[in-house]
Each structure stands twice: as C-alpha cells, then as structure tokens.
Structure 1
Amino acid sequence: MDGERGEMAVRAARRDDSDLVADILAEAFADDPVMNWTFGGARPFRTVFHELARGVYLKNGFGHLAGDGSGAWAATLWLPLGVEIRLPVMNEARIAASAFAHHGLASIRRAMKTAAVLAQHHPMAPHYYLFAVGVRKGAQGKGLGGRLIREGLARADAEGAPAYLENSNPKNTPLYERLGFRPTAPLPLPDGAPPLLGMLRPAGASAR
C-alpha cells in the first residue's frame, strides 16, 4: 500500500489479496450480529471471507483496499452488473468444513437458511452489489468505510446503475443512508435471528 504512515491511499484489490481482505473483514465483522448468529461465533469468519473473496468477488467482481505505510485497514467486495453470486463447490465445502469444525452442524444449517433468504430477496433488476465493507477496529470512525464505498458507487453511477446491500448491523444504517441507500424491507431470517435489512441506492442518488 502506497503512502506514508497515517496517509491513507486507496487501490483496487487483486485476487491474490484474498488473504488480506479476509483478515480485514474477519476483524471488522467479529461483533456483527447476523454473522455471529449465522455461524455461532466468529472463528470461521476468516475462512468464510477468504473463500468468498477468492471464489466469487475478486474473481468475478472487484474490491478496494485502503491503507497507509503500516498496512491495509479497510476493504470492500462488490459484484458489478450482470454477475451472479456463484460460489464454486470447493470454496463452499471449505466454508462448511470450517463452520462445522468450530460450531457444529447447526451453524451450517443456519448458514444455508441465511443464504436462501438472501438469494430469495435479492433484487431482480440489474444492479451493483456491495457484499461487504469492513474496517479494522483500530481505524474505525475515520471515514474509511464511506471512502471505499464511494469508489464502488462511482462505477455504478458511471453505468447509470442502482446499488444494493444487506445491512447486518443497525449501527451502520446512518452511513449507508448518507451515501444514498434507502431501506427496502427487513429480510425474514428465522425466529431468534437479529434484524437484517435490504437497502437500495437508486442510480445516481446523491450522497449527503
């Protein structure tokens, strides 16, 4: 990552950044309500994000990293227009193995239910999909998440496309709304699950 310590730079994530992206997102999502409910705890998160980054998002989509001279601090993963979420069988198997090893069969069942809900309620119209944005704990509250999201939104706006995300943590709602996202509807996870909210940003929506 270019730049002196404390001077944040942004670059596109490459497929060989899967490990780095997974490290950042696993740390950022360690306290995420929906992720913890789904997998029964944070121990599988690094494997989950690594396999999804390598098998889907940095293979068929794109992402960004922000960092300074001491390392990378924030990451995003996106899919552009016309790209479906298709996780190869081997990547899916490694996620399942990690979930089972750490939290048993129940975590696999919850993950399957969550994935089914996400797929069922994903918008049908073409859109950009923000799968994940995360900032390491030591760099949160400094605007890095919003800065990286804007990089992806610039691509969506250039194509006149809407953008969609699932908000798994209510504390992030104000950020997403400032960037032009608006709630669609709560996603119906099973009883006992934390709230999960679909949010859509119309094409060219202005940020506040």
Structure 2
Amino acid sequence: MGVAIRTAGDGDRELVARLLDEAFQDDPVSGWVFPGEEYRRRTHHRLMAAFTDIVLAEGWVDVTEDGSACALWMSVPADGHGDGATEDDGPARVREAVDPDNERVELIGRLTAGIHPSGRAHEYLWMIGVAPGRQGEGLGSALIGSALDRCDREGLAAYLEASSARSRRLYERLGFEVTGEPLALPDGPRMWPMWREPAR
C-alpha cells in the first residue's frame, strides 16, 4: 500500500510544528538542547515552530496525507547553505526567538552549519518526524524515498545529519553514507553527517 504525500502549505504550520515536537521529545539531540523532561515539554515546541517557519518560507515540507509524518527539506546551492537558520546571525536570531537564555539553541545551529558540506548543490533533509504511535510503519522511508526519487531524476545529491544510531541505520538503508567524523556535541550525543549520491 502506497503512502499519500503532499506538500505542506502555511495552513499546515501548527500540524507540522506539533508533529515535530512530539516526534523529537525523546531524541538525544533534543534532550541535549533542552535537558530535563519538564523543561523540554515547556520549551521544545518553540524551536520546532521556528524550524517549521524557516522551511515553509525557504524550502518545502512533505507531509503524509493523514498528517502522521513530515519531512523538512531545503535546496542548497553549490555556493552556500541556503538555510536561514545557519546563515550569518541566524542561530542567534533563532535563540532569541525560542529561548534566549539557552545557548545550546544557538550552538546546535552553528555546529551543524560548521560540518555542512559545500561546493555542490544538494537537497538537505533538515528534519523528519513521525508521530510516536506511527513509528516503524515505513512512513519515514516513504517520505524520504519520494524526495530521493526526485533527486535521482534531477541528478542531485542529498545530505542530512542523523541524530541517533537508530535513524542513522534507516538512512543507510536509503543509500546515505556517513561522511567525515561524527559531530560530538559538548557533553552530549553525537550526530552523523550523511551524504547520498544520486542513483544513476
């Protein structure tokens, strides 16, 4: 059975932000940015909303028709990141909007920007979220696979950072390979930069 996928619009903002908030509550990187369950429950949704706003404005969001999963993508030109959260003072602006006293909100943007490959145009999978009760059903693979099919048709590479060993294994099954050393967050988990060449 196929998964129906559509491109999200501005009217889907709350759905996407809520979905990401729920999907990433137990993610190791989210736990590092927002340590403590109560603090994360109160604050994490603001970062997910900021990311949603950036990608709706500058990239695109694929969402399953039933609203149970979404993927945030940015097109990155050969000469830059094409990413409002990591250009210039973007991380500082996100921190100010989300949680001014939490330096990790800014640091995560700067650190991931520092390992982001440049020199070749590619599609950047910023985040993918699946509702907790629907994980393991293949929705994430279907969402990513749809975009990767387009990458293959257009001869575009794809890039992402895996935030857990579990997600890294999923991405490896989809043709991504770890490129370079993992990013070790200060006193925190690792993230794996992963690259996928277009299929010939």
Same fold (TM over 0.5): yes
Name whichever of 126-135 and 156-165 sits farther off: 156-165
Please give the secondary structure, in 2, of the residue aligned with 1:193. coil
How far apart are residue 193 of structure 1 and its match?
A: 0.9
Hey, what does 1:57 align to over in structure 2? 55
The 8 Å contact of residues 64 and 75 in structure 1, kept in 2 or not, is answered as: yes
Q: Distance in 2 between matches of 1:176 and 1:142?
A: 15
The one-letter code sitting in structure 2 at the alignment partner of 1:37 is W
Q: In structure 2, what is the equivalent of residue 187 of structure 1?
A: 183
The answer to whether the 8 A contact 2:95-2:106 is kept is no
Aligned to 1:128: 123
Which aligned segments of 4 or more residues in structure 1 are displaced greater than 3 angstroms?
87-98
Q: How does 1:119-158 map to 2 (within 5 A)?
A: 119-124=113-118, 125-158=120-153
- CA–CA distance in structure 2, aligned partners of residues 8 and 152 of structure 1: 13
In structure 2, do the counterparts of structure 1 residues 135 and 166 end up closer, same or farther at CA, with 3 Å as the change threshold? same
**Aligned match of 1:114:** 108
Amino acid at match of 1:50: A
1:51, 1:95 within 8 Å by CA — same for their partners in 2?
no
Structure 2 residue 156 is the aligned partner of structure 1 residue 161: yes
CA distance in 2, matches of 1:90, 1:114: 11
Unaligned runs of 5+ in 2: none
Give the paired residue count: 189
Letter in 2 for 1:186: P
CA positional deviation for 1:137: 0.8
Asked if the contact 1:157–1:204 (Cα under 8 Å) also holds between the matched residues in 2, the reply is: yes
Segment of structure 1 superposing worse, 140-149 or 78-87:
78-87
For the structure 1 residues 95 and 16, does the alpha-carbon distance in structure 2 shift closer, same or farther, using more than 3 Å as the test?
farther
Residue pairs, 1:36-115, within 5 angstroms? 36-41=31-36, 42-43=40-41, 44-54=43-53, 56-68=54-66, 72-82=67-77, 84-87=82-85, 93=93, 96-100=96-100, 105=101, 108-115=102-109
Distance of aligned partners of 1:92 and 1:53 in 2 relative to their CA distance in 1, 3 Å threshold: farther
RMSD: 2.5
- Aligned partner of 2:9 in structure 1 is 14
Is contact 2:60-2:72 (8 Å) kept? yes
CA distance in 1 between partners of 2:123 and 2:139 (Å): 20
Give the TM-score normalised by structure 2. Answer: 0.84
Identity of aligned residues (%): 36
Report how far residue 98 of structure 1 moved.
Answer: 3.9
> C-alpha displacement at 1:22, in angstroms?
0.6
Shift of 1:40: 2.3
Distance 1:49 1:130 in 2: 15
Of 17, 25, 33, 2:28 maps to 33
Q: Secondary structure at the match of 2:190?
A: coil
TM-score by length of structure 1 reads 0.81
Runs of 5+ consecutive residues of structure 1 not aligned to the other structure: 1-5
State the 1:15 CA deviation.
2.6
